[in-house]
Structure 1
């Protein structure tokens, strides 16, 4: 485990493999290890894979007061500079996709290629506000109900049903990382519409057809706003790293490792 200090916080991260850097940015309800730990080895043959923990997750510290997107971007930038000697490939999922997009827009010199999975550019959608406010309130008032609520939105219905009662019960009793409620609250205040059009790195936007937390229309809007970006879909719920890891790895490797950065399916 390594760490770097930025903006009054300590950010922990893991690094495995050799070669061009690949930084993987997790979402609100995970940390670097739980979000990507099972996928690191599938990139480490050709990339130096870095999995940071955002503020409050893993061993990373979080300041008092409302969490800001600017802080998470500063943390991502600090980790990239500390872990790599040049531009990196950058992949983010959910809130991590928002951070990755903002990082690529404001620090283009640090990002070689960019993959945005289940991200969004604005939180002003009425359904988004309803879902995220409900989730945040449950986390603060009744965490035992918040986990099943989040679980029901994280996976597609068929995948969740197929896990069986015992496995679903185990997942429903899982504890979210610290400060998840604060990262979800930040998810209510996202607006990077003024930034996404500034992204110059070759970009692949991935929508998830059975995503009930951040429906794929948000990913399509991000794709439309990023000049010359590519778009692909995976038939999965929001937690695609767990539900369809093979498809995600296939898309990401194909995009990162080809000279033309073209998706092959």
Structure 2
């Protein structure tokens, strides 16, 4: 499948890999800032953004191939990969599968495989997604995407709640199915490019200890922590962007 993709800016390439139930635009609110010094390639997974829902179950290697092809087809031959949440195993596998193309990694709010805590979240997320109660689904998503402080600071709560309930991408169920199968722990010691791991310290969806595992097992990886729930792009994007810019240099 050819993914919907947006290309902005000029300079060294940076490929974006977004999270489950998200999109490049939703998960990376600072694309314009990144594009001031880089060529940003921002594809959307099947069933997200402008990409139609997949006709078959998603597989990690095939998705990685499609994400990488979105950059190559845009004329960007080599690139760093900025992965968020589900995008972190996509980025890791891309670095191992395409070592001649991937020049660096930034792995945010990520994991190498779904542990028991994350699997319980995935099971409940799927159950609510399959059910008729979109308000219950919105409550689950908001509880696990934001820290308590961030939730309490939302002024337009009714609008945020409504948009969360109504704005579920059609491919979300496919993304969740893929997350249950992801296993890239054996890939971690094979990574040879500079790597920054960004842990979201108040994350209740993907526990931050998963970021610690990524940093510990990727040779030479650097770990930074950001005070945020899982949805760092909405809750605390400034220190995230600062860490990315400093790392990419």
- CA distance 1:143–1:76, change in 2 (3 Å): farther
Q: Does structure 1 conserve the Cα–Cα contact (< 8 Å) formed by 2:146 and 2:235?
A: yes
Q: CA deviation at 1:168?
A: 4.0
Q: 1:142 Cα shift?
A: 2.9
Question: 1:235 aligned to 2:227?
Answer: yes
Quote how far apart the aligned CAs of 1:44 are.
1.2
Which residue among 173, 179, 182 is the counterpart of 1:181?
A: 173
Gaps of 5+ in 2: none
Query: Which residue does the alignment assign to 1:92?
Result: 83
Report the counterpart of residue 226 of structure 1 in structure 2: 218
Aligned to 1:65: 56
Structure 2 match to 1:22: 14
- In the alignment, is the contact (CA less than 8 A) between 1:133 and 1:185 conserved in 2? no
Q: Aligned match of 2:94 in 96, 103, 110?
A: 103
Residue of structure 2 in register with 1:132 after alignment: 122
- The separation in 1 between residues aligned to 2:106 and 2:120, in whole angstroms, is 27
**Residue number in structure 2 paired with 1:163:** 154
> Alpha-carbon deviation of 1:52?
0.5
For 1:49 and 1:177, how far apart are their aligned partners in 2?
23
Aligned to 2:73: 82
Post-superposition Cα deviations, 1:129-148, rounded to whole Å, max 9, x if no partner, equal 11101101111123502222
Please show how residues 38-49 of structure 1 align to structure 2 within 5 Å: 38-49=29-40
Q: What SS does the aligned partner of 1:197 have?
A: helix
Aligned length: 247
The equivalent residue for 1:245 is 237
Does the 8 A contact of 1:25 with 1:96 survive in 2? yes
1:197-230, Cα deviation, whole Å (9 max, x unpaired):
1111100011110000001100100111101111
* Separation (CA, whole Å) in 1 of partners of 2:56 and 2:37: 40
Runs of 4+ in structure 1 displaced over 6 angstroms? none
What is the CA–CA distance in structure 2 between the aligned matches of 1:215 and 1:183, rounded to whole Å?
19
